[in-house]
Amino acid sequence: MIRSRGVLRVTGWLCDRVYRMADRIVVLSPGFRTLLVDRGVPESKTTVIFNWAEEHTLVHDEMFTRPDNFPKRGSFVVLFAGNLGSA
């Protein structure tokens, strides 16, 4: 675990900047949403998507089409896929 105050301060600043610049932030639980809201992220900017699915809902062909508002191929997209353990 990182304990350097300088590294943590820079990392915190970078996270806050990314949160401000993001159009939407997806979290995996209401607890994560609360942590972001406590950090100053507007709740309206966050969406909770639980990390599970009912498998029977995944058999429809329309589930696998690209939405109209999805970035086009070749677009620059940044994705944070999560962390394991304490950040």
Q: What is the per-residue pLDDT across 4-21, written as a single tens digit (0 to 9) for each?
A: 999 999 999 999 999 999
pLDDT digits (tens, 9 = 90+) for 15-67: 999 999 999 999 988 999 999 999 999 999 999 988 776 777 666 666 567 77
Which one, of 25, 5, 4, 30, lies nearest residue 15 by Cα?
A: 25
Residue 67 lies in a domain: no
Residue 81 lies in a domain: no
Residue 75 lies in a domain: no
Residue 28 lies in a domain: yes
Residue 47 lies in a domain: yes
This model's pTM is above 0.85: no
Q: Of all helices (H) and strands (E), which one includes residue 8?
A: helix 5-21
pLDDT at 87 over 60: no
**Average pLDDT score over residue span 76-87:** 71
Establish how many alpha carbons lie within 13 A of residue 1's alpha carbon, considering only the half-sphere containing its beta carbon: 5
* Amino acid at position 44, single letter: S
Residue 83 lies in a domain: no
Residue 18 lies in a domain: no
Q: Per the structure block, which two tokens stand in for 49?
A: 């998507």
Domain count, the chain: 1
